[in-house]
Amino acid sequence: MEHYDIIIVGAGPAGLTAGLYTSRKGLKTLIIESKLPGGRAAEAHLVENYPGFPEGLPGANLIEKMVNHAKKFGVEIHELEEVIDFGISDGKKILRTRTSEYSCDAVIFAVGAERKKLRVAGEEKLFGRGVSYCAICDAPLYKGRNMKLIMVGPGNEAAADALMLTDITDKVVLIPNSPDFEADKIHVDRLLHHGVQILSGYKVEEILEKEGGVVGGVKIKNFETGEIKDIAVDAVFIAMGAIPMTELVGKVGVKLEKNSIVVDNRQKTNIEGVFAAGDCTSNAGWQIVTAAGEGAIAAIEAHKYLKTLKKEKTG
């Protein structure tokens, strides 16, 4: 079993930043990623709100720079290796994958979250071609193009995103995808004030494709009457919430709240030597820059913890 000072689970912006910080401090660092580095950030077609890149750049390019930066300082990254078990024995953190077993003195979970999907025809095929799960990331691509945009979601997140879309176009439709629209009244009032059309009681049955292989509309169904109709639109933004990927940590006693890892303002969990950062945490900011910041904080605190641990062993 190979031993590391610290292992980071997840190679998104939070994990890569954490690895950069820990490796620069001389810690033997391993990042384990079940897929390819980047997570949802790598899927962004254009990132325009990450400091230092005023012209914007594709998410995949930004992640490539992060990976190269981390590797420059000696981070070891294992791609396509899924952690399937996590345990703690005599203070050591043990992580098992399908092919290997590792131990470490500190661990940072930066496993991100998976956005909930509608699971309807056309959604997967047209992802990136008019279907988006991040209005903040992708809505600016439609600015000034006089397009009709749909926001799908039942609550405050969808309402806030729909309101943001009114800065892009005056043709915004919100479909709760639920029998009831659960957003707070203040959000509903703002949406109506800004001319957003709210189709309460409807759900999306299919996302339609038009010539050119891009979104051309949606097929919607009324929950009560069963009425089905098509609406022509240019893009579909989906805000059905997210599912943090945190199953591993709960079994060893790490505190969870609504499937998110509970951390304090220094990214510490309730168990010593276990930290978390990014979209899997209770204070997630859902932005690349906030995930990176949380990764840096987690790394700094992990380094402090390891220094204390070393003093206790030698003292």
pLDDT of residue 147: 92
pLDDT of residue 315: 65
Are the C-beta atoms of residues 33 and 78 closer than 8 Å to each other?
yes
Q: Which domains does the chain have, with CATH numbers?
A: 2-114+242-314 (3.50.50.60), 131-238 (3.50.50.60)
Between CA 301 and CA 293 the distance in angstroms is: 13
pLDDT of residue 156: 87
167 CB neighbour count, 10 Å cutoff: 12
pLDDT of residue 242: 74
Tell me the per-residue pLDDT of 87-120, one tens digit each, with 9 for 90 and over. 999 889 999 999 999 999 999 999 988 888 999 9
pLDDT of residue 256: 94
pLDDT of residue 307: 95
Between CA 122 and CA 160 the distance in angstroms is: 25
Residue by residue, pLDDT tens for the chain (315 residues) are 899 999 999 999 999 999 999 999 999 999 999 999 998 788 776 788 899 999 989 889 999 999 999 999 999 999 999 999 999 998 899 999 999 999 999 999 999 888 889 999 999 999 989 999 888 778 888 988 889 999 999 988 899 899 999 999 999 999 999 998 888 899 899 999 999 999 999 999 999 999 999 999 999 999 999 999 999 999 999 999 877 778 889 889 999 998 899 999 999 999 999 999 999 999 888 889 999 999 999 999 999 999 999 888 776
- Is the pTM higher than 0.85? no
Between CA 110 and CA 103 the distance in angstroms is: 17
Tally the C-alpha atoms within 13 A of residue 194's C-alpha that lie toward its C-beta.
23
> Which residue among 105, 137, 234, 279 is the active-site one?
137
Between CA 56 and CA 288 the distance in angstroms is: 13
Between CA 19 and CA 78 the distance in angstroms is: 12
Is residue 138 annotated as a catalytic residue, yes or no?
yes
Tell me the per-residue pLDDT of 40-71, one tens digit each, with 9 for 90 and over. 788 776 788 899 999 989 889 999 999 999 99
Is residue 90 annotated as a catalytic residue, yes or no?
no
Nearest to 204, CA basis, from 151, 135, 168 = 151
**Quick one: DSSP state of residue 269?**
-
> Which residue among 5, 104, 105, 138 is the active-site one?
138
Is residue 134 annotated as a catalytic residue, yes or no?
yes
Are the C-beta atoms of residues 45 and 22 closer than 8 Å to each other?
no
Are the C-beta atoms of residues 96 and 107 closer than 8 Å to each other?
no
> Which residue among 134, 161, 279, 280 is the active-site one?
134
